[in-house]
Structure 1
Amino acid sequence: MCGFAGYITTDGKGSEYKEDLIEMMNSIKHRGPDDEGTHIDDMAGLGFRRLSIIGITNGKQPMYNEDGSIVVTFNGEIYNYQDIKADLIEKGHIFKTDADTEVLVHGYEEYGKDLLQKLRGMYAFAIWNREKKEMLMARDIFGIKPLFYTQTENDFVFGSEIKAILKFPTVKKEFNPEALESYLSFQYSILKETFFKGIFRLPPAHYLLWKDGKIEIERYYSPEFNTDESITFDEAVKKVNDVMADSIAAHKISDTEVGGFLSGGVDSSYIVARSNLDKTFSVGFDYPRCNEIPLAKTLSDYVGVKNKSKLITTEEYFEEFPKIMNHVDEPLSDPSCIALYFLCKLASEQVKVVLSGEGSDELFGGYNIYKSPIALKPMMAIPRPVRRGVRKILTKLPVNFKGKNYMIRAGLDLEERYIGNAYIFHTPEVYKMLKKPIKKYTPESITKPIYDKVKDKDDITKMQYLDINTWLWGDILNKADTMSMAHSLEVRVPFLDKEVAKVAFSIPVEHRVDKHETKRYFRKAASEFMPDITAERKKLGFPIPVRNWLREDKYYNLVKDTLTSKEADLFFNTDYLVNLLDRHYHEKCDNSRKIWTVYAFVLWYQKHFAAAC
């Protein structure tokens, strides 16, 4: 895993930006401290920072074809590179290295952009064709690896992180207010245009072709649930165990030691139990219900692996949070990202590569909220107009009673009530809290094109499909890449594999979720390799005691100072924010996620744009 950055100029002055390219590379040195390399010609510059994992001695980048007309920079791993390499050698291509990067060089020569259909891995890359004067860029099918770009009057600029792009002299650093409204609902940056005006993310499973100053972006892969209703539960169990054995073996290919993240949950436990690793790493908090270290120790003892752990104190968390908001390019309000930061730091002290359990919930149906369509099914017998009418009455009723929220939810269509795994602020509340709401996007307008592609599917499948296309890359994989790369650590995710997805998308919904259990067939598969108590454990995520912290005077006051700062006052009606905080502090309701979402944004803005205030 590495990082790259570069530019293309249309004025023939490409060679004049050498020092700027060095600055771009230095800004992402944390992604690759082991080596660096550049390519500069009169039209383009490509810079690379390397974390050496495969082909350590001869995998230097940028990498070229035989005559130097094709130049490649690549971040990630191609797990089937040996198969592709054998095919290309048969076709007459000559390889000079042991690195997986070289299959991109010769694969592009042989197949052009059709090479993307052959790749199995996590990747973002840029291929500069000096003869055709065009660039092909692509991002892996799930969005494990990031890639950003912008186009100025004469220049096309790109990089693994936004901070590298901002180092280029013709790129203007400007806040994008349109990103804020959707962030407040989703808790992450979901628009194609980032929090920096004019700087865009290349979506997962897309390629970008630049030529003559014009950009063409196309999707080359789409996750499709084509269930095979003939598959029995036991067959589903066998299929997932077989494909995961293959995926884990592929993800362990490395010239350096591979470790593993280990919590008390089934996902990381399954990876560790089947990977034959030597070292695992865990973190917890100094709150009883937020400490998974004992559970991780139990599993590590069960499978016979070493486990190194760290108990994160509240003081450490709040001390590091502002520093992390300074490091990240866009605000991350998922509180677990800080726990992941400490976990990556712990692992990086002993290994360069770890296996992790991201993606299982989206592919296999693991989130508890996926049971909601089953819970609401009895209400679906009531005509829709009646349900919506009841909801309208109940939302205005000041009295709370058992079943009220259930009936309110039943009055909404899935597409209205579910925008992903997090729904922090609903649109009316966003408009109340912002001083100058733009009102360009609503959560529903963002998710509608995704829902439209699965109109014929059941509600559980629709929810999974939406999360794969939003939450997975926007929150889960974003924080994994950002926090791991901050410590020069490569995180590999065996669940997020093309072959695993093929199996997952074929499994009937009743094997995935019922009213009692999520990812049913996977839990049964996991029970063959770990104690039942671990395989059956309810989904918790990364438990963070934010709710408790915001009811302690010290942290209540710290957060309140931020929510009433001059930076917060630029965007928010701060009295509204203080009311949210006070109601939480006095235990009138749980506003912790709402408060934390705003708090993270204001801290991030202070670190990146404070001079504008």
Structure 2
Amino acid sequence: MCGLLGILTPDRNAAVIAPQLGEALHCMRHRGPDEAGTWHDEDLALGFNRLSIIDIAHSHQPLRWGPEGNSERYALTFNGEIYNYLELREELARDHGAVFHTEGDSETIVAAFHYWGPQAVERLRGMFAFAVWDTEKRELFIARDPFGIKPFFYAEGQGGFGFGSEKKSLLEAADLLKIDLDIDPRATEHYLVLQYVPEPETLHKGIRRLESGCYAWVRPGGSPEITRYFKPRFPVVPFKKGKDEAQKRYDEIAAALEDSVAKHMRADVTVGSFLSGGIDSTAIAALAIRHNPDLITFTTGFQREGYSEVDVAAESAEAIGARHVVKVVGPEEFANAIPEIVWYLDDPVADPALIPLYFVAREARKHVKVVLSGEGADELFGGYTIYREPLSLKPFEALTPGMRRAAARLSDRIPEGKRGKSLLQRGSLSLEERYYGNARSFQDAHLRAVLRDFRPEWTHMDVTAPIYAQSEGWDPVARMQHVDLFTWLRGDILVKADKMTMANSLELRVPFLDPEVFAVAEKLPFKQKLTRETTKFALRQALEGIVPGHVLHRAKLGFPVPIRHWLRGPELYEWSRTQIAESGTDHILNLGAVSQMLEEHRTGVSDHSRRLWTLITFMVWHGIFVENRIKPAIEDHQYPVKL
């Protein structure tokens, strides 16, 4: 829902820059095509694009609210939804006498902030990125939801402090802000390793992101004073045996998830649901249809056998009684959409799964304005197969550092592809060294070959070491989940979820990423998360009778993409050659080495598909945002911008 933009000026000239801010706002029209507006005083200019979901006739933004006697003390811009806003409104009115003039959730945020201060963010159950300006104290308060569902970019320059829902809006306002737009080489290297740019970095030096679970104060001419309010814990929980104890946990999970879905269904527009062949989206859809018997579900697949869950999703939709819509994507349609998709992303994300997500979102927007989805279940309940790694590597735990080094030397002597090499390599490393999230694109040997200015001191440990430091003493699976919450989830999963749906003016809601669901999930002991036979053990048990049997114990697949095959064949090979030949990234990448990788992949010498996709996505991004060589065909939503 929506896109916000603001500039806090150091020299009280907000009125002068307000018209230019309105122009910069226009590049986010896809986030809010229903209406737009701006507001300013001497210090601050605010802009907003609205996708109307709740209280459609009112709750216009920027929104003014204040207590009795000063009804316009605060100005708010807010992107997201607060699902417990009705309960909070009632409490604020009862305990504090708060008066509300709309039926939406936006006023609830401002009133909660007025009466409870920064601690209000811990009471909000939802997804959010917002800014509240106090016209009396001349202070700006900004905040982002615990998991990072909604984005928040900011930039500091001589022209002031700028913030927005998309980086491109700050690029449009770069001349006003006077910020450094050089490419950040460290962020670039992190991107190549992880396949996304980790928070708080972006690929532009002068633009950063407010991290998930953080708030900050900003004053005119000052820098943000950032505080982390969300500090997830996966406490060491003793495993209590017995059917009654186990069933109690399963019942708690089911109850929390059912309540979350019920609150996520709150809207004044039609809510649909994405549906793959897996347990997560099926659970959400099965619970959602209890609140909307006319639920429409959506899925996508590809024109290649083995790369589609269309049939399984259709069977699930029939089992729960939902109307089902399918979008099948062909390779030509896939390739043609890539520049447009990268433009919407702001920074490159080399996850091919975002492309089918874009197409299914476009199809869904023809029918509904809001969809539910299953993101977050894997991170909360232990759903990734790699979380079993500590079980397979348990014999290595007793090795001394010297013995680990010996195992590493032995693995080096084993030829690539030989059985045992990978096990020795992984076993020779500590958890902190070997695990840096689900995405593992480039390792040092490949980086040296393709990156002109390779810095071996810039590693994934830059990103993960501070996260691991917070989880000393936890079980290894909990530590891996914790890392994924702050890397893979917010860097890849939620970025593509937000960007690909908002590109189509569609709001996506994620009921698994709810504070009450997390409160249940974080207390699960190791043995309730995964076994040698299955992942998400407790969640699967909790969903007995909710999720159809053909899905309940099915292996995870998601929206698979045949990128490995297409890069070898007529679908994407020639297109990829063209991208490499025309790219202006030769000062960053060794394009000759990249071309060689493509040929090795085409002939089957090596599978370079993941690395090639990471590089080519970067080239397309650079062609759009740096070279201005690639010009995506973005549909222009026309509406008046109120200045």
Instruction: Give the drift of 1:384.
Output: 4.3
Letter in 2 for 1:105: V
CA RMSD of aligned residues (A): 1.6
- Cα distance change of structure 1 residues 611 and 32 upon mapping to structure 2, 3 Å threshold: closer
1:438 Cα deviation (Å)?
4.5
Distance 2:127 2:628 in 1: 37
CA drift at 1:178: 2.4
1:3 corresponding residue in structure 2: 3
1-structure distance, mates of 2:558, 2:191: 21
Give the gaps of 5 or more residues in structure 1.
none
**Aligned-pair CA distance for 1:230:** 5.2
User: Structure 2 residue aligned with 1:138, among 136, 139, 143?
Assistant: 143
Tell me what 1:592 maps to. Answer: 609
Q: What is the TM-score of this pair, normalised by structure 1?
A: 0.97
Q: State the aligned residue count.
A: 613
Partner of 1:275: 288
Per the alignment, do residues 397 and 577 of structure 1 end up closer, same or farther by CA in structure 2, a change over 3 Å counting?
A: same
CA contact (8 A) 1:229 1:507 kept: no
Task: Choose the corresponding residue for 2:133, options 128, 134, 144.
Answer: 128
Instruction: Verify: 1:222 aligned to 2:228, yes or no.
Output: no
Q: Which amino acid aligns with 2:217?
A: L
Runs of 4+ in structure 1 deviating by more than 6 angstroms, as ranges, are: none
From 232, 243, 249, give the equivalent of 1:236.
Answer: 249
* Inter-partner Cα distance in structure 2 for 1:94 and 1:401: 70
One-letter amino acid matched to 1:23: E
Find the aligned partners of 2:100 and 2:34 in 1 and give their Cα distance: 23
C-alpha contact 1:237 1:524 (8 A) present in aligned 2: yes
Larger mean CA deviation between 393-402 and 184-193 belongs to 393-402
**Alignment correspondent of 2:569:** 552
Please tell me whether the aligned partners of residues 427 and 443 of structure 1 are also in contact (alpha carbons under 8 angstroms): no
Q: How far apart in 2 are the matches of 1:60 and 1:170? A: 26
How big is the shift at 1:577?
1.4
User: CA separation in 1, counterparts of 2:79 and 2:443?
Assistant: 37
Confirm or deny that 1:322 pairs with 2:322. no
Q: Which residue of 2 aligns with 1:582?
A: 599
CA distance in structure 1 between the aligned counterparts of 2:491 and 2:209, rounded to whole angstroms:
11
Q: Residues 43-84 of structure 1: CA distance to partner in whole angstroms, max 9, x if unpaired?
A: 111111111111111111111124312100100011111111
Deviations 1:70-129 (A, max 9, x none): 100100011111111111112111110101000112112111212112111100000011
* Matches of 1:257 and 1:112, distance apart in 2: 34
C-alpha distance in structure 1 between counterparts of 2:400 and 2:263, whole Å: 51
SS of the residue 2:519 aligns to? helix
Query: How far, CA to CA, are the matches of 2:265 and 2:158 in structure 1?
Result: 44
Task: After TM superposition, give the deviation of residue 236 of structure 1 in Å.
Answer: 2.1
1:174 aligns with 2:151: no
Deviates more, 1:573-582 or 1:431-440: 431-440
More displaced stretch, 104-113 vs 430-439: 430-439
Counterpart amino acid of residue 209 in structure 1: W
How far apart are 1:239 and its partner, in Å?
Answer: 1.2
1-structure distance, mates of 2:428, 2:580: 34
Q: How far apart are 1:459 and its partner, in Å?
A: 1.1
Structure 1: how far apart are the matches of 2:619 and 2:227?
A: 35
Cα separation, partners in 2 of 1:257 and 1:441, compared to 1, 3 Å? same
Give the gaps of 5 or more residues in structure 2.
Answer: 631-643
Q: 1:41-80 alignment to 2 at 5 Å?
A: 41-66=41-66, 67-80=71-84
My pick for the range that moved more, 582-591 or 414-423, is 582-591
Q: Tell me how far apart the structure 2 counterparts of residues 30 and 507 of structure 1 sit (CA, whole Å).
A: 40
8 Å CA contact 1:147–1:160 kept in 2: the answer is: yes
Aligned to 2:484: 467
What are the Cα deviations for residues 386-444 of structure 1, in whole angstroms up to 9, with x where unaligned?
23312223213336432221122111111111110011111343233211235562111
Q: What is residue 197 of structure 1 aligned with on the other side?
A: 205
Deviation at 1:385, TM superposition (A): 2.3
2:419 counterpart of 1:414: no
Partner of 2:623: 606
1:454 aligns to what SS in structure 2?
coil
CA distance in 2, matches of 1:334, 1:398: 29
CA shift in 2, pair 1:371/1:117, >3 Å? same
Shift of 1:181: 0.2
Q: Which moved more, 1:271-280 or 1:469-478?
A: 271-280
1:403 and 1:342 map into 2 onto residues whose CA distance is 41
Do residues 379 (structure 1) and 388 (structure 2) align?
Answer: no
Superposed displacement of residue 530, structure 1:
2.7
Q: Answer whether contact 1:31 1:485 (CA < 8 A) is retained.
A: yes
Instruction: Give the distance between the partners of 1:498 and 1:337, measured in 2 at CA.
Output: 26
Corresponding residue for 1:532?
Answer: 549
